[in-house]
């Protein structure tokens, strides 16, 4: 959850730089929130040219970081740390500017607390989901799945898999094996765009995703998988275990596990989980 922060229920993509001990935020996301623009990229393009023409120091502090794009892939986007972002906000006339500045300070303070006590990060994640209307049962399943996911990605990091594109590829391999859909196709089925797929899964989808990733990790450990190719094989094996369980359940109940249901607000959804 560290890659997504919420401001007034709107998502801001972010990345924590452990070496510098500071956050970097997607500038496009911030501009979309502050301006309510339907074309925030164009707004930012014009503002960036203005900053460059003025010789603003903030222009030199803009960095390119890979963050998850609406299509689910990791793509480079302009990002800024808190100090640079505050300078950018000064150039944007918006009634949300002051509340957003306070939010930035709060995010930084909370991160320091989480470093000292990691359990606080989990509690904040729980609070965010509660604010979005999730049930306690769903939250527990989501958090359990996230813990399993973290253990799997820890294995990948320790055995020659590169974060970013290779993590995304392996995630897609596992997901496609057990669901029959790519991650992006599954998001389309649910009517999602930039939203996190797992945050809109049903209880059953969360459970089968966790089963697929738990199986993948245990198989990878058993096979001593190293690097991307061997972990792809482990991912397919782990995904198949969840697929076989899904098919068995569907045969018994006559109901599909993969669902179009989601938690989108009433005005932006086709179906909603009750």
List, for residues 185-233, the tens digit of each pLDDT value: 999 999 987 778 998 999 999 999 999 999 999 999 999 999 999 999 9
Q: What pLDDT is attached to residue 128?
A: 72
Which of these, 77, 206, 194, lies nearest to 141 by C-alpha position? 206
Q: Enumerate the H helices of the chain as residue ranges.
A: 27-35, 40-53, 57-60, 82-90, 97-116, 119-131, 136-158, 165-179, 183-189, 203-223, 227-253
- If you search the block for the tokens 């909603």, which residue do you land on? 272
Q: How confident is the model at residue 110 (pLDDT cuts 50, 70, 90)?
A: low
pLDDT above 70 for 175:
yes
pTM listed for this prediction = 0.59
Q: Which two tokens stand for residue 82?
A: 């808190």
Q: What pLDDT is attached to residue 116?
A: 41
CA atoms of 216 and 6, how far apart (whole Å): 31
């Amino acid at each position: 959850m560290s890659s997504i922060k919420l401001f007034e229920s709107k998502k801001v993509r972010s990345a924590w730089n452990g070496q510098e001990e500071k956050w970097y935020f997607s500038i496009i996301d911030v501009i979309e929130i502050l301006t309510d623009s339907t074309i925030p990229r164009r707004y930012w393009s014009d503002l960036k040219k203005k900053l460059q023409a003025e010789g603003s120091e903030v222009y030199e502090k803009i960095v390119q970081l890979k963050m998850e794009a609406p299509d689910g892939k990791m793509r480079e986007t302009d990002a800024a740390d808190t100090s640079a972002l505050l300078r950018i906000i000064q150039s944007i006339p918006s009634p949300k500017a002051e509340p957003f500045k306070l939010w930035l300070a709060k995010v930084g303070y909370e991160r320091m607390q989480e470093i000292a006590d990691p359990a606080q990060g989990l509690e904040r994640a729980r609070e965010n989901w509660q604010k979005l209307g999730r049930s306690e049962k769903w939250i527990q399943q989501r958090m359990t799945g996230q813990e399993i996911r973290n253990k799997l990605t820890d294995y990948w990091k320790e055995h020659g898999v590169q974060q970013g594109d290779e993590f995304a590829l392996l995630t897609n391999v596992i997901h496609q094996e057990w669901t029959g859909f790519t991650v992006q196709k599954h998001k389309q089925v649910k009517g999602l765009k930039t939203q996190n797929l797992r945050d809109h899964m049903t209880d059953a989808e969360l459970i089968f995703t966790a089963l697929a990733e738990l199986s993948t990790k245990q198989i990878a450990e058993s096979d001593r998988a190293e690097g991307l190719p061997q972990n792809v094989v482990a991912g397919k094996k782990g995904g198949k275990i969840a697929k076989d369980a899904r098919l068995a359940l569907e045969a018994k109940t006559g109901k599909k596990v993969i669902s179009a249901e989601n938690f989108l607000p009433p005005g932006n959804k086709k179906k909603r989980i009750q």
